[in-house]
Structures are given as structure tokens and as C-alpha cells.
Structure 1
Amino acid sequence: MAISLSLDQKEKAKHGEQLFPLQCYVTNLSATCPAVTAHWHDEAEFTMITNGGCTYQIQLCPYSADAGDLIFVPPLVLHSIHADTDPVMTSETYVFHMNYLGMGNADICAVKYLAPLAMQKLIPPYIIKKEHPIYGDALSIFQRLSQLYHSKSIGYELKIKSLLLELIALLLPFCQEDSAFSQLSNEHTSKLKAVLEFIEHHYAEPLSIADLASICCFSEYHFMRFFKKYMGESAMEYVRNIRLEKAAELFEQGAESSLEVSLSCGFNNLSYFHREFKKKYGMTPGTFQRKINI
């Protein structure tokens, strides 16, 4: 089953099962829901853009991606997606834990390749475009992976595992050592992660720029410029969007009272909540509820 990621905070999601930690997701981004906010998780992900275009921001760097492009995001890497709103951007993603490939084993494959990749000691090419030397082989792997996942023929789990190992072997000659990356960039990534994690846990509480700036040990002015540079929106816009996405999730889970939802998501003014919800989703909370209950 393919699961929509458009409203999910992926770091909270459970990807697959304990014995088969792999899950397929289909993401649809449009003018109504134009972004997957910055997040990270313990798993790696392998994606193909199937329609439209978008910008991935991976470890604070922007990468343009178009239909047909492939994206590989290693574990623990901060990333977000901002779509071109016309046409709708659609992608198919396979999220998997590296332990599925044997990262926890005491063998040369785990020690020399899988663990360094998972720990960001080896940095792969994140975007694989048609002109990349491995594009043809990587595309073939993705297509076979998708066919196996959806057909679930006998032994498909074993075949998928072999395909993902083949993908990593393809990427290895193009990986860079960690030393090639700026210490400042790593430092900024860590600070941004800390801020996003704090917001994730405290979005329902009153939050100020001073609160968030203190996490980074920045002045408020420096923090506002820092956040806007890497996230493409102000910190307070980001907080508002997180609150609105959490509200949409509550409605999807069966919540009925707009007042209770607004308060539990950090909105103290019901009319303001209704106005911002409509601005983001193109409909009032009541219309949103009716649509998801059809």
C-alpha cells in the first residue's frame, strides 16, 4: 500500500515492519499542499519524481529535480521538498532501514560501506539526473524495485534487498569523503535540526523568536536570517505551517471540534485559525472534514 506523505512528519512515522523495514510512499504536492517540511529519520530513501518538478533541500543545499530524476537520501540527513505548483509534483519513494541490508553485521560490507554511508562518513550523490553515468542502471533498479514491491511475488523481499545493495554499490564510486564537506555546514545543520526538533515537541505552546534563537546561541536577528536562508520561510511561518499540518492530521484522525483542534495545535484565536487553515488548504476546516469523511 502506498501512503501519502504530504501531511506527515516523517520522523514520527513507522516505515514498514520490524522484519521488513521498507515502505512505499506516494507524495503529491500542489498549490494546496506545496511542501514536505524539513525532517530526517533513521532510514534511507530512494525516490523517483514521476511528474512535475520540485526543489529538494538536502543538508541545507538546494537541488532541482524534474520528472524522471532519482533521489537517494541517506539516514539522518535533513531534507525537505518544495514543489513547482504547476503541474502537480508526484513522486514514488521507498524508505528503508539500513539494517535490512545487513548494516548491523560484523562483515566487511557493513564496516567498509553501509555503516559509513549511514553515519555520513561517505556522502553519495543525492540527485541522479539522466546525464549521470549511473542513471540507466539506477533507473532499472528503481523500476524492478517498484514492480517487486507491488506484485509481492515469492521471494520479493530477498530480491528487493539485493536491488538496494546493488544501488549502493553503484553509488559508491561517486561518494565523497566527509572531509570534503564544510565543518560550518555540519554545524549549521546540527543547529537547524535542534530547532526543528524543539518546534516538533513544543508547537502547541507559545513560541517566540527569542526561544528559538537561544537553542542556537544566536541573536534574534542572526537567527531570523539563518532560519530564512535555509528553510525558505521565517521561523514563525514555519511554526504556523506545522500547527496547521498537525490540525489537518487531527481532523484526518476523526477530531470534530475546530475549537479543540485549534487550541491543541497552538492557536488561541479560532477565527485566525479558520483564516489561516483556509489560506493553506484552500478550504475551511469544516469543508476539509467533510471531504475526508466522504
Structure 2
Amino acid sequence: MNRTSIPAPEQKEHARHGEQLFPLQKYITTLDDLHPSVSAHWHEEAEFTRILSGSGTYQIQLQHYDVAAGDLLFIPPALLHAITVTPREKLCTETYVFHMHFLGASTADICSVQYLTPLATAKLIPPFFFDARHPLHDALDDLFNDMDALHDDAAQGYELLLKADFLRLIALLLPCCNAADEDTRLHMEYTAKLKTVLEYIDAHYAEELSIADLASLCYFSEYHFMRFFKRFMGTSCLNYIKNLRLEKAAELLGQDGLPPLDASLSAGFHNLSYFYREFRKKYGVTPGDFRGAGAREK
């Protein structure tokens, strides 16, 4: 079993996190100028993350958090989140991704009914970000260290001790949780609309996409949709689509070794000179040089 994984940032949302009987996976992720972001995504599992080095910004639901080395984050299941590295920095993170079923969320006991299920279904909202000033930071940091020691040693019975640590994590968070209120429900409604749009873009990025079609998914006018998208994603919808296509093209060039023309067409670009210009602007090298660097790393 591969207990530590280093996924391509844009693929993380599609990864299987652990195994059916042990739904927990440890990830080390590095972002830099060549791979500057993890696109907005979500999954059924929760995340517990420590920033190892560098700086950047996490978007969780509709909030943004500037992070630096030593900070910790907890992201409950199904919440929309994204990561961006600070320009000219290298952001390195360590993350445990785990399913709440691992802790007993699917059982019919008091822990599940009062704590785990409300947390998993956004009826209880915990804090997401813990820097050195947060009263829980030191306790969570010590807990993270213990998880690392257990995970890396993998002695007999370590799964039981890890499970106990993750239950302790939930117990530490509970006093800081708030019941979902009207603002939270409104944010969840907006997030659901964003998820619908982002899922559609991810499935159809290689095709022609129009603002009118995307706006119709939210039952918004084009004007309202463009303002809505930029407000909550921090960038225009067209810019988001362009960056997603560039990331997909970079994956095809670097990992699959496709020629630039094939990569551009597969990623949804139909103007080669525009693709070359935007690719170089984003990654600082030509598609051909990027492909060559990927080949040398293999």
C-alpha cells in the first residue's frame, strides 16, 4: 500500500484517497511558479493540512486565507477549496485526507449523531484556519506530529492509534464549531451553484464554452453570473477557463509527452499562436521547452 502520495495538483480531486478498509491517505504537495495552483475542487473526504514551507492562499468555500509555514488547516467534507502559491515562492504542504466513515460517521451512536454527521453535512461549521495566534494551534500541531510519527512508523496497530488521533482532532474542534445559520446556508447555496459550474467546465473544457450556457446552469443572467463568478472565485470565468486549459495542456506536455499542437487542441485551444503566448506568460517557457523538461525528469 502506498501510504504517502505526491499527486499532480490538478488531479488530486480525482484521486482515490486510501483504501476501502483504511480510507486515509497522506499527501505531500509542492506548488511553485511552474505549478502555481490547485484548482477549485471538492471531495467526500475531510483534510487536515500543515504548511511545511513557503506561502500562498487557500480558498475554502467563499473565504480566503493567507498561509505560511507552521499554519494548519482543517477542511470538512464536500467543501469547495483551492490553493495558490505566492509568486516566486515554493509552497510545500503535508495533508491527511480521510473519510469520516473511518471515524464511525456511518454508525448509529451518539458520536455519529451529535458530532460526526453534523460536521460532515455542514450543520456544524468548524474554524478552517489555525495560525500561531489561534488558541488551538499548539494542540493541533502536537496532534499532527503524533499522526506523522504513527503513520511513518506503521507499527502493528497504528491504524487504531491514528483513528484515535483523528477522533481527538474532531473533539478539539467541537468547542469552536458554530451551528449553520442563514448566512452559512446562503453560502452553501452559492457554493452549490459554483460546484455545478466548475463540474461542467471540468467535463467540457476541451469544447466551446459560452458564458450564456454557464449562466443558465445557475439560472442567472450573463451579467449577474459574471459578477457572481468573479466575486467568489477571485478571477473572471473566462480567465478561469483559460488557466484550466493551460494546466491540462501542461499535464499533457509534461506527463504524457504530447506534441504542443496535440496538447493545445486536446486542452481546448484552437489558435496555436494564442496558446503559445498564454502558455509562456503562465509558465515562463514555451510548450516545447516544457515538454522537454518533462521528458528529462522521467
Query: TM class by shorter-chain length?
Result: over 0.9
1:29 Cα offset (Å): 2.1
Alignment check: 8 A CA contact 2:33 2:89 kept: no
- SS state at 1:293 partner: helix
Inter-CA distance 4–282: structure 2 relative to 1 (3 Å threshold): farther
The corresponding residue for 2:262 is: 260
- SS state at 2:10 partner: coil
- Deviations along 1:195-232, one digit per CA (max 9) or x if unpaired, are 11110111111001111111111121221111111111
Say which is worse superposed, 106-115 or 194-203, in terms of deviation: 106-115
The corresponding residue for 1:25 is: 27
The corresponding residue for 1:78 is: 80
1:147 Cα offset (Å): 2.2
Alignment check: 8 A CA contact 2:254 2:293 kept: no
Which sections of structure 1, spanning at least 5 residues, go unmatched?
Answer: none
> 1-side partners of 2:20 and 2:254: how far apart?
26
What one-letter code is carried by the residue in structure 2 that aligns with 1:279?
K
Say which is worse superposed, 198-207 or 53-62, in terms of deviation: 53-62
> 1-side partners of 2:157 and 2:267: how far apart?
44
- Which consecutive aligned stretches of 4+ in structure 1 deviate over 4 angstroms post-superposition? none
> 2-side partners of 1:134 and 1:223: how far apart?
38
Alignment check: 8 A CA contact 1:149 1:156 kept: yes
The corresponding residue for 1:231 is: 233
1:18 Cα offset (Å): 1.6
Alignment check: 8 A CA contact 1:45 1:74 kept: yes
- SS state at 2:48 partner: strand
Say which is worse superposed, 132-141 or 149-158, in terms of deviation: 149-158
Alignment of 1:49-198 (within 5 A): 49-179=51-181, 181-198=183-200
- SS state at 1:18 partner: coil
Q: How many residues align?
A: 294
- SS state at 1:42 partner: coil
1:170 Cα offset (Å): 0.4
- SS state at 1:181 partner: helix
Alignment check: 8 A CA contact 2:44 2:77 kept: yes
1:52 Cα offset (Å): 2.0
> 1-side partners of 2:222 and 2:141: how far apart?
45
Alignment check: 8 A CA contact 1:7 1:249 kept: no
> 1-side partners of 2:151 and 2:291: how far apart?
32
Which sections of structure 2, spanning at least 5 residues, go unmatched?
Answer: none
Alignment of 1:10-21 (within 5 A): 10-21=12-23
What one-letter code is carried by the residue in structure 2 that aligns with 1:265?
A
The corresponding residue for 2:217 is: 215
Alignment check: 8 A CA contact 1:59 1:77 kept: yes
1:274 Cα offset (Å): 2.3
Identity of aligned residues (%): 54
Q: CA-atom RMSD, angstroms?
A: 1.8
Alignment check: 8 A CA contact 1:195 1:215 kept: yes
- SS state at 2:181 partner: helix
Alignment check: 8 A CA contact 2:206 2:245 kept: yes
1:9 Cα offset (Å): 3.7
1:278 Cα offset (Å): 2.1
What one-letter code is carried by the residue in structure 2 that aligns with 1:238?
Y
- Deviations along 1:19-43, one digit per CA (max 9) or x if unpaired, are 2211112222223332211111100
The corresponding residue for 2:48 is: 46
- Deviations along 1:272-294, one digit per CA (max 9) or x if unpaired, are 22222222222222222222222
- Deviations along 1:44-89, one digit per CA (max 9) or x if unpaired, are 0000111122221111111222211110000000111222224322
